[in-house]
């Protein structure tokens, strides 16, 4: 991780480090002379100081944690790959060899940051909240050899460079979206993706639950949405849907990885699955057939129909009751079959319904064409331009923006013309293109505090399996994660490429089917 620049100067902090780590559990390995931190951590930390020593995890190591779940998460990964017993004590008075502490962190780390110290006696991660401990654990795991992520026992030694890392996020919203509507994915498949996202400090999971091709969440008040509307997918496959218990299980699993779920019901367009499920939702009372193609912009809810708003209210109400997170995503994009006046009417009414259910509105940036969204709303920019005047006006009036420009952030774009999966409408997006932009200074009139963060959407017209998800998300998702987490002062393509290459052995150990981009020098063992 050592690089040039004011935030990357190596300083000798052995004395201070010894004080910080004093009292860590007995049985630790002896510190020996070594080089600085390796170039292995993505996203890049805010600051790091190395002291030229190393620490090797001994077979008798122990783990203590002020947060049981995070301690158990770390111990579970380490036990599988090292074969060590690594007993965990929660709330211990005496720190273990690896100690996770909710005291002593500087105020600057905030709710998601941490301080990680590696000394002669062991490892100490300090944070103000459990999320910070969890993010610190991800950095610790990246400092260890990549085979630490293996599900089977691997040979050591398990050696770390000594020093201190201080870290916290640039943006509060660092998201990934998965489209379940074009192709359906099971709870287990989504939980697997959650585990992969968590490695890179992603904290929002946006689930696209409805579209023309399928409806993927059971709604008790409108059961045919899932039973019939969820019965197919792109290409005519069997589709599928989640029960509300399934959805709640995913929400809980995401929360265990300090990730908030944002459910999306796209409307007024992208609604053929709903219109096919209930004839009475159509202006002419006639249900269209199920749709298994990939065109967009042809469907619309009936804006003038009172039943439409009863329908939307009940769907959003059930989702709100199942969703502890603050946002309900109402879509709003590509409503080509809805007139501009109808679109404005519809979005205004639906925004009020979201607010009435105690949630904040999130939508694609098109919703700004209907006027400034309510207080607390997020608008998600997805276009390939750098100008969106209506969105800029909304941002000036308080709407925060999540940046997902398709020509940089869409994970379903092909890497190159030879890529078998994906699309090309927004261009070709290899990993350096995914990294080469600044979310905080990209869109005219939307800068600084007006930017809530970054999200990498993965649309699934061509994505069918978990291996497909892996191939399109990795290695681009970590590039977006770094844009969301790391200070802009650390942004350096060459340094990032080196650190990204270091992820290859980790992904191989985990069985991640990633794309071996020719822009990256993948090391041996990748």
Cite the active site residues. Answer: 334
Q: Contact, 182 vs 212, CB < 8 A?
A: no
Task: Give the DSSP H/E element, type plus range, for residue 72.
Answer: helix 68-82
How far, in Å, CA of 162 to CA of 311, rounded?
58
Task: Give the DSSP H/E element, type plus range, for residue 382.
Answer: none
Q: Which tokens go with 420?
A: 């078998």
Q: Contact, 143 vs 165, CB < 8 A?
A: no
Q: Which tokens go with 112?
A: 């998601």
Strands (E), 341-478: 360-364, 378-381, 400-403, 441-443, 446-447, 451-458
Q: Contact, 63 vs 97, CB < 8 A?
A: yes
Looking from the CA of 417 toward its CB, the CA atoms found within 13 Å total: 0
How far, in Å, CA of 207 to CA of 465, rounded?
16
Packing angle, helices 466-473 and 476-485, rounded to 10 = 50
Q: Residue 83 contacts by C-beta under 8 Å, 6 or more apart in sequence? A: 153
How far, in Å, CA of 136 to CA of 231, rounded?
42
Q: Contact, 410 vs 459, CB < 8 A?
A: yes
Strand, helix or coil for residue 6? coil
402-408-412 Cα angle (round to 5): 95
How far, in Å, CA of 406 to CA of 443, rounded?
13
Q: Which tokens go with 139?
A: 């950095």
Q: Contact, 215 vs 209, CB < 8 A?
A: yes
């Amino acid at each position: 991780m050592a690089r040039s620049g004011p935030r990357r100067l190596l300083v000798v902090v052995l004395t201070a480090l010894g004080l910080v780590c004093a009292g860590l559990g007995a049985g630790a390995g002896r510190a020996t002379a070594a080089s600085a931190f390796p170039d292995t951590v993505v996203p890049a930390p805010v600051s790091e100081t190395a002291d030229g020593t190393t620490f090797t995890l001994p077979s008798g190591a122990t783990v203590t944690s002020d947060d049981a779940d995070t301690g158990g998460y770390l111990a579970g990964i380490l036990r599988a790959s090292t074969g060590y017993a690594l007993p965990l004590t929660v709330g211990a008075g005496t720190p273990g060899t690896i100690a996770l502490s909710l005291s002593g962190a500087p105020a600057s780390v905030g709710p998601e940051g941490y301080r990680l110290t590696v000394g002669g006696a062991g490892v100490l991660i300090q944070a103000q909240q459990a999320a910070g401990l969890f993010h610190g654990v991800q950095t610790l795991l990246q400092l260890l050899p990549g085979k630490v992520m293996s599900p089977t026992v691997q040979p050591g030694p398990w050696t770390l460079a000594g020093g201190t890392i201080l870290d916290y996020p640039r943006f509060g919203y660092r998201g990934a979206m998965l489209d379940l509507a074009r192709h359906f994915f099971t709870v287990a498949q989504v939980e697997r993706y959650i585990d992969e996202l968590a490695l890179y400090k992603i904290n929002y999971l946006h689930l696209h639950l409805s579209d023309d091709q399928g409806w993927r969440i059971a709604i008790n008040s409108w059961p045919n949405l899932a039973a019939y509307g969820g019965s197919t997918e792109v290409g005519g496959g069997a589709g599928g849907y989640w029960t509300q218990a399934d959805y709640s299980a995913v929400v809980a699993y995401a929360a265990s990885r300090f990730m908030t779920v944002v459910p999306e019901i796209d409307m007024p367009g992208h609604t053929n699955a709903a219109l096919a499920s209930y004839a009475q939702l159509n202006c002419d009372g006639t249900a269209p057939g199920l749709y298994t193609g990939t065109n967009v912009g042809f469907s619309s809810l009936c804006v003038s129909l009172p039943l439409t708003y009863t329908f939307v209210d009940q769907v959003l109400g059930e989702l709100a009751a199942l969703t502890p997170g603050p946002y309900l995503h109402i879509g709003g994009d590509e409503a080509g079959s809805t007139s501009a006046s109808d679109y404005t009417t519809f979005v205004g009414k639906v925004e009020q319904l979201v607010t009435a259910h105690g949630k904040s509105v999130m939508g694609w940036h098109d919703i700004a064409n209907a006027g400034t969204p309510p207080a607390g709303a997020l608008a998600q920019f997805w276009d390939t331009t750098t100008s969106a005047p209506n969105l800029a006006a909304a941002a000036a009036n308080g709407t925060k923006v999540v940046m997902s420009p398709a020509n940089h952030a869409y994970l379903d774009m092909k890497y190159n013309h030879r890529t078998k999966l994906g699309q090309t409408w927004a261009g070709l997006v290899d990993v350096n293109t995914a990294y080469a932009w600044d979310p905080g200074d990209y869109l005219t009139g939307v800068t600084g505090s007006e930017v809530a963060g970054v999200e990498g959407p993965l649309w699934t017209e061509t994505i069918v399996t978990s291996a497909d998800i892996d191939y399109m998300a990795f290695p681009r998702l970590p590039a977006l994660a770094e844009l969301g987490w790391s200070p802009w002062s650390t942004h350096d393509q060459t340094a990032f490429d080196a650190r990204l290459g270091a992820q290859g052995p980790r992904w191989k150990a985990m069985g991640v089917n990633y794309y071996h981009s020719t822009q990256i020098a993948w090391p041996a063992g990748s």
